[in-house]
Structure formats: C-alpha cells, structure tokens
Structure 1
C-alpha cells in the first residue's frame, strides 16, 4: 500500500466533497479562525488586532481578508468566505511578511499568542434553504451589528430530522411574516461533531429582546410546538451574544492607506 498516494487521494476527494456541499443550493462556505481570549488579555488582543489591520491597510495587502465577530465570553471569530478548501491555502500573510520583514511580522503574532491558550480553524456553511431572510439573504446587516448565536448540537442520526423541523419553522415564520430574520449555518470541515447555528442580527441587546418577545407572541402555540418537536432531536443547546467588529476587520482595497479606522 502506498500511504502517500492514499492520503493524497483522500485529500483530493475531501476537497471535492466540501466544494460540492458548499455549492449545492448556493450554500456559502466560510473559513473561521477562532481565538478564545483570556479575560486579562482582552485589551492586548484588541490592540494587536488593530495593529494587524493597520499594517495590512498601510501595506495594501491583497492576499487575505476577514470580518471579525466578538462574543461576550471572550471568543473572537475571524470570518472569511471561501469557494473551497484550496482557498485557505492561498489566503495567507506572506505578502505582509515580505513587506514588513520577519522580525516585525513574528513579533505581531507572538503578541497574539500571549492572549489565548486555545485557538483553531474550521469551516462552517451558510444554508440558504433553512435561513429566513425574506428581504434577501445577506451576512451583512447595516445598522444591525449586534449578534445572537443559537447553537444546536445534533447527532448524525438526527441531522435530517432537525433539518426537516427547521424547514417547517422557516415556513411558519414566513406565513406569519415574522420580523425576526435569521441565517442558519451548519458544521463543516474541521469540526468534531455536527451542529446547526441560527444567527440573528439586531441593533443592540434591547432591540433583540424586544424582537424576540414579539416573535414569541406572533408564533404562539403553533411555534412553541414546532420548537419543542425540533429540540427532541437536539443533544445540546447554547446561546451566545456579541457583535460584529468592523474595527478589527480587513477588506482588501485599491487604496487601503486612506481608509480610516472605525
């Protein structure tokens, strides 16, 4: 057995399967880098993140881009849309390293590494067929940077059952013209275990709580029954709150040197 050839064949098949899944039904895959920042290092992490953004803008780095979401528990997500896994290899900081030099570059990422004990990368996939955004599906919601993440961990045996109930819920939301819009993501490459995440945008915490209360009233017993039926197939459920952070995000531009910090 040629182990090298087998591994190579496995990786090619894996990339093809991820690509097919991401493209099916216009699903969009995202590469997520997650940093679990220590409470005592929050200020240092924010400073280092802003230094990285400024360095990329100043040097007009084009090989990589990301948006950042921060959760109230100190988790920071750097989010980059991808077509397939090959994009992850092609998106890197080699351009920045070359422009600022090894010493400056290494120091910057050493400063990051002081801020957490755990971090990692994985892929998550936006599923339009389960998402409810009647005004148009978009991950950017101007004026609504606040985020609430509802995560549902599901066993492989129950994935289809949960998905079926999500479709029923989407239809119910639509029939009642609910004002609570949401996007559904599911686990992808790099995750251990399967899950769905419903992400809801709002202006702030008060706006979300108001919207949630109004939606509960609108859905009534019919909605409660559907949620109860879905949660029979859910192994674990958790809710996190936070917001998008444009000040820690970077988008390549023809002239980033003139982009002011948010």
Structure 2
C-alpha cells in the first residue's frame, strides 16, 4: 500500500511541475534541475507497464494537463520519467497541488488508471540530477524526438571522493577538444544530486541506434586521436566505479504539448 501511494504521489508531481520541457530552445541555461522517477520493471511485465503508461498519457492529454515529461528505457528494463523543474524551492510547492489535478481528471478515473501499474515492477526510486549544459558540447543535439536520434549511450562515472573538481576540469578539456576538432555530434553531461550516489557524472551521447553510435564513435576516435585517450585515462584514474548502459528515449510513452 505504501509503495502504491508513493507512485501515485510521484505521478501527481509530474502533473504539477512548474517548468515545461522544450525541444525548440535556441539558448539553454547553464544548468537545469531534473526530477527523475525510476521504475525497475519486471521484464515479463514490461508490455503491461508500457500499456499502462500509454493509457496514463491519454488520460492527462484528455484532461488537457499543461505539463510535460520524457521517458527513457534502458537495456535492463529501467524506465525513467524525466521532469524539468525550476529549482529546489519549487519542489516543495508540488505537494500542494495534488487535489487540483485529481479533481480535474476525476478521482475514480485516476485511481483506476493507477491500478493498472500493479505488479509491473519490484522497486522504484526518486532522485534529482543536474544537466550541465555549460559542460556539454552542443547540448541541444538530439533533444527533439522527431529527429529520430532517440538512442542514448550512457556512461556513468562515480568519482573518488575529493576528486570531483578534477573531473570537472577534465570535462572542460574534453569539451574544448571537441570544439577544436569541430565534431559534428554533441554530448551532454549530468551530475548527481539528491538521491544519487556521491560523485556521479553521467555522459550521454545521442544517435539513431547502437550501430549508428558505433560508426560515429569510430569516426570521432580517428579525429580526436591520442588526446581523447589521454583524457579518458585521466578520468578513469579518479573513478571508483564505472557503468555503461544503452538507452532509448520513448516518445510514445512521454507526454508533451502538441
């Protein structure tokens, strides 16, 4: 019961966000705070989960809810809802708007919809990430799902405590190298915040699919040369844990204003 209530509350937070995601921005802020809800979906229940999430999208669309969110699925059946929020102070305000949203949708309709998620996942969590556009290279690259660059190459670096500033400097050098070599494709950098392990740096590179990424990666390595390899080795030397995952943005499970 507690788990079900937590999920219901979080989805209400989605609908009461104060900042909408935009894919047509020409200038991005230096940093963006992101609220993340991660469901660890049971593989054989993934079809039921996706069906429930699509029904949820239809429900909020029919109710003309004015908020937006994106969904990414990784190769280990983690589905993460991504919501851009304004600031830490704004988070506290979300909890006061739940009744308004439920009344707009209809309490019975909302509860029936939430029941569709029962049994679909064995755990879930909420956390915050910070998108560092100032450290990213062409951060707008791949943002628009209509462009078809919905594959995501995800590299997670968990830095040795006390080495965070050193990693920041390495990222700046990495970005300068991309700029100097005029690489066509971009990457985004995220740092962990509330609810994540300490020292988390996430590098995200979009592509059409995994094969397309491998082709682009080979091309970039030839252009960037030994300088990139040296920077990577320096990053690894201050990293205590590394993870890689393949991800796929799911526009069909996301909600955005038309």
CA contact (8 A) 1:29 1:125 kept: yes
Contact 1:151 1:198 in 2 (8 A): yes
1:105 corresponds to: 110
Kept in 1, the 8 Å contact 2:141–2:185? The answer is no
Instruction: State the Cα distance separating 1:101 from its structure 2 match.
Output: 3.3
Indicate the structure (1 or 2) with the bigger Cα radius of gyration: 1
How far is 1:124 from its partner?
0.5
Q: Give the drift of 1:103.
A: 3.2
SS in 2 for 1:157: coil
The runs of 5 or more residues in structure 2 that have no matched partner are 1-28
Structure 2 contact 35–127 (Cα < 8 Å) conserved: yes
Counterpart-to-counterpart distance in 1, 2:92 and 2:171: 34
Question: 2:91 is matched with which residue?
Answer: 88
Distance of 1:130 and 1:89 partners within structure 2: 28
| Map of 1:68 onto structure 2 | 71
RMSD: 2.1
In structure 2, relative to structure 1, the CA distance for the partners of 1:85 and 1:252 (3 Å cut) is farther
Corresponding residue number in structure 2 for 1:11: none
Q: In the alignment, which residue of structure 2 is the partner of 1:51?
A: 55
1:39 to 34, 40, 43: 43
Contact residue 192 and residue 201 of structure 2 kept, 8 A: yes
Q: Secondary structure, in 3 states, of the residue corresponding to 1:221?
A: helix
1:29 aligns with 2:40: no
The 2-side partners of 1:52 and 1:122 are apart by: 21
Among 181, 186, 189, the alignment partner of 1:181 is 186
TM-score (norm 1): 0.80
> What's the TM-score, normalizing by structure 2?
0.81
| Conserved 8 A contact 2:141-2:187 | no
- 1:78 aligned to which of 75, 78, 81: 81
- Cα distance in 2 for partners of 1:159, 1:199 equals 18
After TM superposition, list the pairs within 5 Å mapping 1:84-233 onto structure 2: 84-91=87-94, 94-133=99-138, 139-140=143-144, 142-233=147-238
User: Relative to 1, partners in 2 of residues 1:246 and 1:138: Cα closer, same or farther, differing over 3 Å?
Assistant: closer
SS of equivalent residue, structure 1 residue 178: coil
